[in-house]
Amino acid sequence: MNSQYSRPEVFSLHTCLELKTFWEQEIGKQSRCREREEARRGRSALRRLRAEWKSRLEKRTQMMDAAGDPGKPADASA
């Protein structure tokens, strides 16, 4: 190991502040990226389209169930 890293004067307050600033900036970048991704997903139409198709399928299923009332035969071959 290089002896300069074990000397206390090299690992000074200035170095600590630089490290702290560096990691705060990195965390800030990651936070901004995460927020942008969440905003992008929020603007996406996929969630709305899935909900719309789900409601359509539920309505269709209800109509099919209503058409198969006990008064009408469900299967013509039976």
Per residue in 37-46, pLDDT (tens digit) is: 999 988 888 8
**Does this model's pTM top 0.75?**
no
Residue 2: band (very low, low, confident or very high) from pLDDT cuts 50, 70, 90:
low
Q: Is residue 7 part of a domain?
A: no
Q: Is residue 59 part of a domain?
A: yes
Per residue in 13-63, pLDDT (tens digit) is: 678 888 899 999 999 999 999 999 999 988 888 888 999 999 999 999 999
Distance CA 49, CA 36 (A): 21
Q: Is residue 4 part of a domain?
A: no
pLDDT at 13: 67
Q: Is residue 42 part of a domain?
A: yes
Can you list the alpha helix ranges (DSSP code H) found in 1-78? Answer: 13-43, 46-67
What is the residue range of 63's domain?
12-67
How many domains does the chain divide into? Answer: 1
Q: Is residue 20 part of a domain?
A: yes
